[in-house]
């Protein structure tokens, strides 16, 4: 991944303002314009950088490996689109909090159905290998074709004889946040911070195990450098 000449300075400035609770979208425009950042770099700042408090809070929920024979609740679009973005060659990266994200704001419309379906297959195969006892999948109703991907996922689960349920929801965040058992699979910051149970970054672990993926990591990047 190739960055603009002043990307590191932008990261430092953005982190400084973030720790001081400046409005995130306003400072993103300020820093992005100041250093003439590309669109994908602005998305990476917005989705990848966090305050020290946020990082600590999200780490408390982080599960390194998915235990065998456990029930999972899947943030459908979040997980499958991240995997699909990687398959499509779009940038994916690890944020300061250790969770894998993509630049979906830029590439959402470019993700072809066959790639999204392939991502669903990979996700279900992974969960089957882990002998997951029950799979609850939520897809966001407001997102286009959520009903279609819901039916496809349900069919693929039936083919694999996987126990579980697939449904659309106007607020998957609410459903996941208030779950009181099992493990949530997502990289959504709001869900992670407010969840009552542990969180597993399924997309990141799947890509690591299946493709030996080593995406750009803000953790490594900031460890190698030091903001003034």
Q: What is the CATH number of domain 60-91+107-213?
A: 3.40.50
Average pLDDT of adjacent 10-residue blocks, the chain of 228 residues = 94 96 94 96 96 96 94 96 94 96 68 93 97 97 91 97 97 94 96 97 98 95 83
- pLDDT of res. 72: 98
Q: 150 near 166, Cβ under 8 Å?
A: yes
146-159 and 76-87 helices cross at what angle (nearest 10)?
Answer: 80
Please give the order of strands across the beta sheet that includes 62-63.
62-63, 199-200, 183-185, 71-75, 134-140, 164-169
- pLDDT of res. 109: 52
Residue 131, Cβ density class (10 Å: 0-12 exposed, 13-18 middle, ≥19 buried): exposed
4: nearest Cα among 28, 34, 35, 46: 35
- pLDDT of res. 214: 92
- pLDDT of res. 106: 54
Rg of the chain on CA atoms, in Å = 18
CA distance 126 to 135: 12
CA distance 143 to 133: 28
Domain boundaries, the chain: 60-91+107-213
- pLDDT of res. 110: 64
CA distance 130 to 16: 41
CA distance 215 to 83: 12
């Amino acid at each position: 991944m190739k960055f603009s000449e002043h990307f590191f300075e932008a990261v430092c400035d953005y982190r400084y303002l973030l720790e001081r609770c400046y409005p995130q979208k306003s400072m993103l425009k300020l820093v992005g314009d100041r250093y003439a950042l590309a669109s994908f770099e602005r998305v990476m700042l917005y989705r990848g950088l966090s305050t020290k408090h946020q990082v600590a809070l999200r780490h408390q929920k982080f599960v390194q490996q998915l235990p065998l024979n456990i029930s999972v609740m899947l943030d459908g679009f979040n997980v499958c689109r991240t995997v699909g973005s990687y398959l499509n060659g779009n940038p994916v990266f690890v944020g300061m909090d250790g969770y894998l994200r993509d630049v979906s704001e830029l590439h959402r419309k470019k993700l072809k159905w066959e790639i999204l379906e392939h991502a669903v297959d990979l996700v279900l195969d992974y969960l089957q290998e882990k002998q997951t006892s029950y799979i609850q999948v939520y897809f966001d109703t407001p997102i286009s074709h959520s009903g279609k991907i819901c039916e496809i996922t349900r069919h693929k689960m039936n083919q694999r004889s996987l126990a579980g349920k697939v449904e659309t929801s106007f607020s998957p965040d609410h459903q996941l946040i208030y779950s009181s058992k099992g493990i949530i699979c997502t990289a959504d910051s709001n869900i992670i911070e407010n969840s009552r149970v542990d969180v597993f970054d399924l997309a990141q672990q799947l890509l690591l195990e299946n493709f030996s993926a080593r995406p750009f990591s803000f953790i490594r990047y900031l460890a190698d450098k030091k903001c003034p």
